[in-house]
């Protein structure tokens, strides 16, 4: 009888024992789990230390893929290539509970609720979110007329970064120039404009430290300096939307 009771108890324990969570950290996620993932990948040489912002964008996707290829966890032919699931998280020594990660379509308050400082310049929570989104898209290709991470033109990139943070702005560079309020010197989150052809024809988002992020026709989404001879020569001014 004792053996029967023990067998029943053991079977019950097995039935209620917690299983490994199937939570994943994937493209579009934000939060502490993404930050932890980015930091761990950076410590293993698969991510840039500058790409630790709590936003799972294209750069983090490539970092995860690089790690998965190097460890044999997944490959371009795999169904979960670029998704940090239980196997990837466990290999990195991270918890796979994933309870602190939220999707980009849900609230972005965790990444935008605090003001941040970029090169000594304070930003509002709204601008902080725009900058965070813009940085997560570095490396996206340039596509004429493009308005998504698959490819952006310069104004499509700016409009997308603002739209992801709840702000609707005009579509074209000339419309943005007309809609904005001129400022004598840009603050983080302002738009900077350039006359690469006649009139305002290129624009980017100022991120502080005399730098701006933009989608260049030969570079895709990248960070450039206003001190660069080409950009300083064509610079028209800054506007605030």
Q: Distance (Å, rounded) from C-alpha 198 to C-alpha 28?
A: 37
Is 31 marked active-site?
Answer: no
Q: Residue 162's closest CA among 175, 119, 211, 201? A: 175
From the candidates 138, 154, 161, 173, give the one annotated as an active-site residue.
Answer: 154
Q: Provide the strand spans (E) within the chain.
A: 29-31, 101-103, 117-118, 121-122, 147-148, 151-152, 181-183, 191-194, 202-208, 211-216, 220-225, 235-240
Is 214 marked active-site?
Answer: yes
Beta bridge partners of 152: 142, 147
From the candidates 30, 46, 135, 214, give the one annotated as an active-site residue.
Answer: 214
Is 154 marked active-site?
Answer: yes
Joined tokens for residue 55: 């936003």
Report how far apart, in Å, the C-alpha atoms of 44 and of each of 114, 119, 121 are.
29, 27, 31
From the candidates 127, 202, 211, 238, give the one annotated as an active-site residue.
Answer: 202
List, by residue number, the catalytic residues. Answer: 154, 202, 214
């Amino acid at each position: 009888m004792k053996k029967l009771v023990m067998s029943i108890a053991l079977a019950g324990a097995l039935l209620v024992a917690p299983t490994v969570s199937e939570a994943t950290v994937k493209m579009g996620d934000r939060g502490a789990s993404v930050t932890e993932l980015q930091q761990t990948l950076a410590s293993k040489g698969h991510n840039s230390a500058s790409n630790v912002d709590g936003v799972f964008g294209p750069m983090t996707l490539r970092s995860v893929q690089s790690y998965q290829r190097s460890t044999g966890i997944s490959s371009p032919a795999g169904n979960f290539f670029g998704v940090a699931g239980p196997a990837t998280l466990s290999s990195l020594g991270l918890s796979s509970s994933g309870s602190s990660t939220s999707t980009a379509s849900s609230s972005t308050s965790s990444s935008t609720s605090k003001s941040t400082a970029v090169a000594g310049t304070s930003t509002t929570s709204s601008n902080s979110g725009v900058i965070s989104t813009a940085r997560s898209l570095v490396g996206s290709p340039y596509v004429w007329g493009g308005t998504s991470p698959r490819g952006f033109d310069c104004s499509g990139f700016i409009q997308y970064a603002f739209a992801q943070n709840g702000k609707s702005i005009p579509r074209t560079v000339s419309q943005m120039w007309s809609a904005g309020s001129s400022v004598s010197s840009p603050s983080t989150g302002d738009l900077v404009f350039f006359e690469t052809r006649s009139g305002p024809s290129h624009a980017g988002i100022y991120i502080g430290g005399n730098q701006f992020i933009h989608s260049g026709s030969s570079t895709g989404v990248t960070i450039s300096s206003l001190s660069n001879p080409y950009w300083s020569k064509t610079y028209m001014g800054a506007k605030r939307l």
